Chain A
Amino acid sequence: MLFNSHEFILAFLPATLLAFFIVARASELAARVVLLGASFFFYAWWSVEYGLLIVATIVMNYGFGRALQHLASNRSQNARHLLIVALAVNLGLLGYYKYRNFFIENLGAALGFDWSLAPLVLPLAISFHTFQQIAYLVDSYRQKVEQPTLFSYALFVLFFPQLIAGPIVHHWQLLPQLHSRRMYRFDAESFAAGLTYFVLGLSKKVLLADPLSSVADPIFDAAVAAPPTATEAATATLAYTFGLYFDFSGYSDMAVGLALMFGVRLPYNFNSPYRAASIIDFWRRWHMTLSHWLRDYLYIPLGGSRHGPVRRHVNLMITMLLGGLWHGAAWSFMLWGALHGAFLIVNHAWNGLAARFAAAGRPIALPQPVAWGLTFGGVALAWIFFRSPSLEHALAMLNGLVGSNGLHSERLASAIGAGKGITLALAAGIALLMPNTQQLIDGVGRSRRMPHLRWSPGRVWSTALAALFMLAFTQMSAVREFVYFQF
């Protein structure tokens, strides 16, 4: 079930909220059962078979977690062995569904065989809940987990607002809230903020991301058959760059909003990433929960920056390559990860150089607009590899971008029209100039621009949001899956 579907908005969400808060008046445990049942229904709506698979992983990982904690608390050597087994099983499952065909087909190609396999249907959200559960296992081994019951653990993994595409939530963020009494009393303030997050997220998705996707998709998909001109390639790249941001950050806002309706606070996932003036800063703002996960459970265990600059650069590249591969089993994702790895290495090298100059009393720094331009340009360039169906398509887009197929064609204007051109400009303006959702609603990291633009639970905001909701609701008919669902 998609958050931006009629069945979710008109049936599932109101029914679940109503049932949860009515039952919670009588019993918190029963309310938790309602929420767990609804969350399972939400997932199994897509596939009962894979619904059972996720339940199996929950039971298995809960068992692993308990055993790990027991062994680790007894300082048993077996704890480390068991952790390796548990991680191997989880990564093996992810690998089987997500990477099996990619690996076998590429191995076959390298050996000169055609080992094409029938495509496997990827269990929805497997990349997200596998990372979530791996973090739980590692923390169990590190004895950082207050052991939950199986029931609580299942709710932690299945809690529907964060289940499908994050934010990637840790046990220490969610489990205490699931047991807090506050969650089981309807809180009008929390609900109002949640509603606002949800409406803004839905609007980002339906009113900005989907139209931008319809600009970018035809040009990217036809890049080989109909090589784009420079303006077509640039427009498609910008449309995809902003469209992806509004798609995924819109989804994350909806997730945060839905959780808030139940009185649960999820971590923010985006913080105006396209305003970053360095790649390091970009990764502190883009898909923040994944960045934190990669840092805490991959980069730092690899050694992080503790063994000198060369090891740090190697660790950065490994982290970004695997981060790229996490997004999908394709060389284009690996290349996207490699590009960001290279950008980060250059960024760290530049910072080192700047520190040396500063120590010598001759500080150097790029002017802010140049730093921003380089960062945005690098990120947008990398998205070409991320979006292109194949490397051939990506190269065709790059060729188009440098003007190999001419600067401009009339096709562009007729394809996008004035309406979508305005949408692109509006999207760029919102992403680059406006306060982001958490700045607007929670006042977190107050924006320097428009500091007085701040949500409050008043009638003006309420009426405007209801109108925005109606507008978004009426535009949902061409329900499009969120881009991040495929990961």
Chain B
Amino acid sequence: MSIFPTASPPVAAKASAAARFNMTFAATLVALTAGFALMLACLERLDSLPPPPFTATTCIDEKFKFLSEQPLQQIDLIAVGSSVTWRNLDMAAFKEAGLADRPLNAAPCYLHASETTFLTSFLLHRMPRVHTVITVVAPRDFEECSGPSDEFVSRRLADAYVFDDLPSLPVYLTNFKPDGFVRDALRIRAMRADPQHPLSLTMDEFGSGPLHRRSGWLPPPALERACFPALTALEATVKRHGARLVVAAFPMQPEWRRRFDPDGAFQLDFEARLRRALVRPETIFVSGDHPDFRALTHADAVHLLWESARSYSHSLAERLTHSRETATSPAAERR
């Protein structure tokens, strides 16, 4: 007997129509899912498949895709952070200096310091061999945060995809954003292949994203004091996993410096805040204000052109190799 208030066709006919309705619903879901998977497969064949949309931010999602293809269990040195780390570090320099056998640039883009803390924790809990974590930071990394650690991606989903070979279909299905997907499908091939593309996603074998063109991007500083504890949290996270942290302050771009920090007070204050946030004796801090860095060529306010990035990375690697003499532990310095 029907529990519905209206009754017209005979009960048996209604029940049979309802059964067909339920079956059609299920069949349509299966067909739509299959069609969706087919569309993804076609796009992949055309090299036009955007990365699985974890964050709807292409350069972050592309990094998750890259990470899922790496032997993460073997990695012993990682770089984490925003594009300040992703675009400015040539990981080969650390390998050549003997600081690591399998270095990896795990930094995506846009992350604030609190989000870097989350990403580092997410990576280290499944990367047991990492002994060194490097991050390059600029003032932009400390402009926004809602806590010392901000979860910007579903940890469970990313964990299954990056570490446990979860197929990408569930990620596309659960996080699908039609407008972003279409936009990326139209341009992703060029972004991956063309190093001159304004939004280039080209990566070297270590995951670094070389920049080969300049832009006039010089945003004014807007530091958020409350975001510096994220660095302390990052340090604690790295320590908890038995690794040491290296924090390098990005060398300011000369034009940016002339415009926003002519007397150098801002940089002094910024680096002082960084040093205060780093409390562990084993942490290494490398100042961005060093004569060696003055000849570097910037692409914009927070990125170096790749040749300079290589030179900067070699310089950093050299400092780490001789860390006792040249680099500074902020906590030890305070003592």
Chain B CB within 8 A of A467 CB: yes
A190 touches B3 (CB 8 A): yes
Residue in contact with A474 in the complex, picked from B3, B5, B176, CB distance below 8 Å: B176
Across the interface, name the chain B residue whose C-beta is closest to A419.
B179
Q: Considering the complex, which residues of chain B in the window 122-178 have a beta carbon less than 8 Å from any beta carbon of chain A?
A: 154, 173-177
Residues of A within 8 A of B5 (CB): 442-444
Cβ contacts B1-30/A at 8 Å (1 or 0 each): 111111000000011111111101110110
A195 touches B174 (CB 8 A): no
Q: Considering the complex, which residues of chain A in the window 360-376 have a beta carbon less than 8 Å from any beta carbon of chain B?
A: none
Chain B CB within 8 A of A459 CB: yes
Given contacts A182-B1, A442-B5, A443-B6, are A477 and B22 in contact (CB under 8 A)?
A: no
A192 touches B176 (CB 8 A): no
Bound-state Cα–Cα, A187 to B1, Å: 9
Chain A CB within 8 A of B32 CB: yes
Which of B16, B24, B176 is the most central at the interface, judged by chain A CB atoms within 10 Å of its CB? B24
Number of interface residues of A (CB under 8 A): 33
B3 touches A263 (CB 8 A): yes
Across the interface, name the chain B residue whose C-beta is closest to A7.
B156
B22 touches A470 (CB 8 A): no
CB distance from A226 to the nearest CB of B (A): 15
9 pairs, A vs B, C-beta closer than 8 Å: A182-B3, A191-B18, A192-B22, A193-B18, A195-B22, A461-B21, A462-B22, A462-B28, A474-B175
A467 touches B28 (CB 8 A): yes
Bound-state Cα–Cα, A191 to B21, Å: 10
Given contacts A457-B14, A473-B173, are A195 and B3 in contact (CB under 8 A)?
A: no
Chain B CB within 8 A of A466 CB: yes
CB distance from A452 to the nearest CB of B (A): 15
A466 touches B18 (CB 8 A): no
Chain B CB within 8 A of A486 CB: no
Residue in contact with A459 in the complex, picked from B16, B20, B26, CB distance below 8 Å: B20
Chain B CB within 8 A of A265 CB: yes
**Which of the four size classes fits the interface of chain B?**
20 to 34
Write the residues of chain B forming the contact surface with A, with a CB cutoff of 8 angstroms.
1-6, 14-22, 24-26, 28-29, 32-33, 36, 53, 154, 173-177, 179
Beyond the given pairs A457-B14, A474-B173, 7 more chain A to chain B contacts, judged by CB atoms under 8 angstroms and listed by A's residue number, are A189-B4, A189-B15, A192-B25, A457-B18, A459-B24, A462-B24, A470-B33
Residues of B within 8 A of A462 (CB): 20-22, 24-25, 28
Residues of B within 8 A of A404 (CB): none
Residue in contact with A188 in the complex, picked from B4, B15, B175, B176, CB distance below 8 Å: B15
CB distance from B104 to the nearest CB of A (A): 27
B21 touches A477 (CB 8 A): no
CB distance from B2 to the nearest CB of A (A): 6
Residue in contact with B32 in the complex, picked from A193, A458, A467, A477, CB distance below 8 Å: A467
CB distance from B182 to the nearest CB of A (A): 13
CB distance from B312 to the nearest CB of A (A): 36
A475 touches B24 (CB 8 A): no
Bound-state Cα–Cα, A469 to B21, Å: 14
Given contacts A458-B17, A474-B176, A475-B176, are A189 and B2 in contact (CB under 8 A)?
A: yes
Cβ contacts A421-461/B at 8 Å (1 or 0 each): 00000000000000000000011100000000000111101
Chain B CB within 8 A of A348 CB: no
A474 touches B174 (CB 8 A): yes
CB distance from B155 to the nearest CB of A (A): 13
Bound-state Cα–Cα, A213 to B132, Å: 42
Residues of B within 8 A of A195 (CB): 22, 25
Across the interface, name the chain A residue whose C-beta is closest to B56.
A477
Chain B CB within 8 A of A330 CB: no
B154 touches A477 (CB 8 A): yes
Given contacts A189-B15, A191-B18, A192-B18, are A470 and B175 in contact (CB under 8 A)?
A: no
Residues of A within 8 A of B53 (CB): 477
Across the interface, name the chain B residue whose C-beta is closest to A183.
B3
Residues of A within 8 A of B20 (CB): 457, 459, 462
Bound-state Cα–Cα, A426 to B231, Å: 45
CB distance from A416 to the nearest CB of B (A): 15
A466 touches B6 (CB 8 A): no
B174 touches A476 (CB 8 A): yes
Chain B CB within 8 A of A463 CB: yes
Residues of A within 8 A of B22 (CB): 188, 191-192, 195, 462
Cβ contacts A249-272/B at 8 Å (1 or 0 each): 000000000000001010000000
Chain B CB within 8 A of A280 CB: no
The 4 closest A-B pairs by CB, nearest first: A466-B28, A474-B176, A457-B21, A462-B24
Bound-state Cα–Cα, A459 to B46, Å: 35
Across the interface, name the chain B residue whose C-beta is closest to A464.
B28
Bound-state Cα–Cα, A263 to B14, Å: 15
B32 touches A470 (CB 8 A): yes
Across the interface, name the chain B residue whose C-beta is closest to A195.
B25
Bound-state Cα–Cα, A94 to B24, Å: 46
Q: Considering the complex, which residues of chain A in the window 469-484 have a beta carbon less than 8 Å from any beta carbon of chain B?
A: 469-470, 473-477
A466 touches B21 (CB 8 A): no
CB distance from B168 to the nearest CB of A (A): 14
A470 touches B174 (CB 8 A): no
Chain B CB within 8 A of A275 CB: no
Which of B26, B28, B175 is the most central at the interface, judged by chain A CB atoms within 10 Å of its CB? B28
CB distance from B189 to the nearest CB of A (A): 23
Residues of A within 8 A of B179 (CB): 419
CB distance from B124 to the nearest CB of A (A): 25
B174 touches A473 (CB 8 A): yes
Across the interface, name the chain A residue whose C-beta is closest to B1.
A182
A6 touches B4 (CB 8 A): no
Chain B CB within 8 A of A300 CB: no
Across the interface, name the chain A residue whose C-beta is closest to B17.
A457
Chain B CB within 8 A of A465 CB: yes
B2 touches A477 (CB 8 A): no
Residues of A within 8 A of B36 (CB): 470
A442 touches B6 (CB 8 A): yes
CB distance from A119 to the nearest CB of B (A): 15
Residues of B within 8 A of A475 (CB): 176-177
Given contacts A190-B3, A442-B6, A467-B32, are A458 and B21 in contact (CB under 8 A)?
A: yes
Bound-state Cα–Cα, A382 to B296, Å: 59
A470 touches B29 (CB 8 A): yes
Bound-state Cα–Cα, A419 to B178, Å: 12
Bound-state Cα–Cα, A457 to B14, Å: 8
B29 touches A466 (CB 8 A): yes
Residues of A within 8 A of B6 (CB): 442-443
Residues of A within 8 A of B25 (CB): 192, 195, 462-463, 465-466, 469
Q: Considering the complex, which residues of chain A in the window 377-418 have a beta carbon less than 8 Å from any beta carbon of chain B?
A: none
Bound-state Cα–Cα, A190 to B173, Å: 28
Residue in contact with A477 in the complex, picked from B14, B29, B174, CB distance below 8 Å: B174
Bound-state Cα–Cα, A477 to B178, Å: 13
CB distance from B1 to the nearest CB of A (A): 7
Bound-state Cα–Cα, A182 to B2, Å: 9
Bound-state Cα–Cα, A469 to B14, Å: 23
CB distance from B181 to the nearest CB of A (A): 10
Which of A263, A442, A443, A470 is the most central at the interface, judged by chain B CB atoms within 10 Å of its CB? A470
B3 touches A265 (CB 8 A): yes
CB distance from B107 to the nearest CB of A (A): 23
CB distance from B253 to the nearest CB of A (A): 27
A469 touches B175 (CB 8 A): no
Q: Considering the complex, which residues of chain A in the window 188-208 have a beta carbon less than 8 Å from any beta carbon of chain B?
A: 188-193, 195
B174 touches A6 (CB 8 A): yes
Across the interface, name the chain A residue whose C-beta is closest to B29.
A466
Residues of B within 8 A of A190 (CB): 2-4
